[in-house]
Structure 1
C-alpha cells in the first residue's frame, strides 16, 4: 500500500496528533490510526512521532504508511460463493441458508469467512475478512464485505449512522391485518443466554413491517431494519405474536394449520429454518459515494413455501 501524505491545515493547530491524523485520513478508523502512530507508521515533517498526544502547529507534512497487516488467522477453504457484485473496494454476496458467517465455537470451519479468504487472500488484512455485518446461519440473502480498510471504515460508519438500507422478506405464522413498526429494546434473555428478548434494559431496536401477501394462517411480510440487533426481526415478530415460520428458537411449538392440504403439509414439515431472506441492500459506495442497491429474489425453498401457501387457498 503506498504512503499517504497530507499537509496539516492551520485550522487544526493545537490538536493532538491522533486527532489531526483522524481528520486528515478519515477513511481509516481512529483505533487503527492510533495503532499505526504507536508502531511508527506516522511521520511529521520526516520525523517519526510515537506519541498520539503530540501537539500540531499547523503546516506540518504528515506521512502515513498504511501498511496492510494480517489480522485474520482462519484458513481459506474452497467454498462456493454466490457473488452479486464486486469491485476493488466492495463485495456483495448472496449467502445461502445453512452457511455460518464467521467462525465461532462449534463452527470453526466451513464459514463464509473461510470462503472469502479463499476468494481473495488480501482479505486476511481486514477485521473479520471485511465482514461488517452478519445474518444468522439459517437466514439467506445479501451481505456486504469490505475489501479495503477505507471501505471497511466507511461501511461501519454507515451502519452506525443507520444509513444502510436493509430489507427482508419473511413468512410469519398468523394472518396479519396491517403493517406497522416495532420499537422495542432488545437484550439477552435473563436465563437462556443463547436467546434474546424484548426488555427495558436492552438496546434500542426498530423494525418496520409491511404486508406483502396474506394467506389463511400465514403472512408474507417485508421488513426494514433501522437498527441491527442480534436476532432483531425474529425477536420483534415473536413479540407481536407473529413469529417467523420455521423459527426453532422463537417460533414456538410446531402446529399444522386447519384445512391444510397434502402439498402444504409436506412443505411445512420440510421447512427446517426460519423463513427469512435478506432481499435488498443499499449503501453509499465507499469510494464513489454513489448510492448503490442490490436485490435478490427469494431462494427456492421459500418460493416453494409461498407457492404452497397460495395453492392451498384455491
Structure 2
C-alpha cells in the first residue's frame, strides 16, 4: 500500500539536495531513503524521477512514495476490533485482555495482528502490521498501530525521546501509602525467556505511580512510564512489594482473585508525524477491573 507525501520547497531549502530535505523536513531515516531509491516513483520532483543527490529550488514539488507490502505469515482473522481512531497513517485500538499483540506458538490466529491484517484486507489494503506500543497478552487498553514504515519510525523516535506519553491504570496488592517513582534497572532473568528481574546490570527503567484510591488490601494506581522495558510495571510493583492483582508471574498465583493482571493502558498521547497535531486518547478502565473494584466498595 503506497503512502504519498508532497512538499513544496520553501526558500529555506532553495539549492539544497534532496537528501537534506528528506532528513531535515521529513526526518526520514537513512534506511528508508535507501528504500525510496529502489523504485522510480520513490522520489520525484515536479512529476519527474530524481536522485537524492539532485538539487531542488524554491517552488519545486517534492513527492515521495512510501511503499509497503502485506505482512507475511500473519493469517488474516475476522476478529472484532475496537478502533478508537483511524486516519491514513495510524490506527488507535482499544485492545481487550487475553489477546496477544503478535502471533506466537499457541496463538497463531488470535492475536491483534491477525485482526488488523483482516481489517486491512477487508478494505483492499496491503500493509505490514507495525505496533507502536506493544501490550502484553493480558494487558488491555490503548495501542497505536502505524500504517507504514515512515510513521512507525517517527513514532518510535517519539518513544525514544520520551515525547510519546503512556499512562496505565492498575490494581495492586496492599495499601500503597503515597505517590512515588521506581528507578530500578531491569533485565531478563537467567535461564528464562519471559521472566524479568530488577538487577544492577539491567537496563535503566523508570516508573512513576500515583495513588487514585485505596480499598483496604488493594490500591488503584495511575502509572506513567518514562522508559518502556518488557513487563516494566509488573516487575517494578512486585519489586516494591505491591504486585499487580492477578499477576501469576510476578505476584499471586491465585486465579480466583482475578483471571489476569489488572493493568490497562488508559492514556496515549503523541504528535502526529504528518500533521503535527497533538493526538490525545483516554480510556479510564477495563470492564473487568471496574467489576473488581465494585466488589470492594
Q: TM-score, normalised by structure 2?
A: 0.84
CA distance 1:147–1:38, shift in 2 (3 Å): closer
* Shift in Å, 1:237: 0.5
Alpha-carbon displacement from aligned partner over 1:161-187 (angstroms, at most 9, x marks no partner): 111121111111111111100111111
* Shift in Å, 1:148: 3.9
Q: Which has the higher helix share?
A: 1
Alpha-carbon displacement from aligned partner over 1:188-238 (angstroms, at most 9, x marks no partner): 112322111112222221100011111221111110111111101001101
CA distance 1:65–1:223, shift in 2 (3 Å): closer
CA distance 1:284–1:111, shift in 2 (3 Å): same
Report the counterpart of residue 24 of structure 2 in structure 1: 23
* 3-state secondary structure, aligned to 1:269: coil
Report the counterpart of residue 143 of structure 2 in structure 1: 143
* Shift in Å, 1:272: 1.5
The answer to whether the 8 Å contact 2:245/2:257 transfers is no
**What does 1:40-189 align with in structure 2 at a 5 Å threshold?**
41-42=42-43, 65-73=64-72, 74-121=74-121, 124-126=126-128, 129-189=129-189
Q: Which has the higher strand share?
A: 2
* 3-state secondary structure, aligned to 2:116: helix
The answer to whether the 8 Å contact 2:36/2:65 transfers is yes
CA distance 1:77–1:84, shift in 2 (3 Å): same
Q: Distance in 2 between matches of 1:104 and 1:189?
A: 21
CA distance 1:43–1:307, shift in 2 (3 Å): closer
Q: Distance in 2 between matches of 1:173 and 1:297?
A: 20
Specify which of 288, 293, 298 is matched with residue 285 of structure 2. 298
The answer to whether the 8 Å contact 1:6/1:24 transfers is no
Structure 2, unaligned stretches of length 5 or more? Answer: none
Q: Count residues in correspondence.
A: 287
* Shift in Å, 1:21: 3.7
CA-atom RMSD in angstroms: 2.9
Q: Distance in 2 between matches of 1:191 and 1:9?
A: 54
Q: TM-score, normalised by structure 1?
A: 0.80
* Shift in Å, 1:34: 1.7
The answer to whether the 8 Å contact 1:100/1:111 transfers is yes
Structure 1, unaligned stretches of length 5 or more? Answer: 255-267
Q: Distance in 2 between matches of 1:20 and 1:118?
A: 36
* Shift in Å, 1:65: 5.0
* 3-state secondary structure, aligned to 2:212: strand
* 3-state secondary structure, aligned to 1:125: coil
Report the counterpart of residue 235 of structure 1 in structure 2: 235
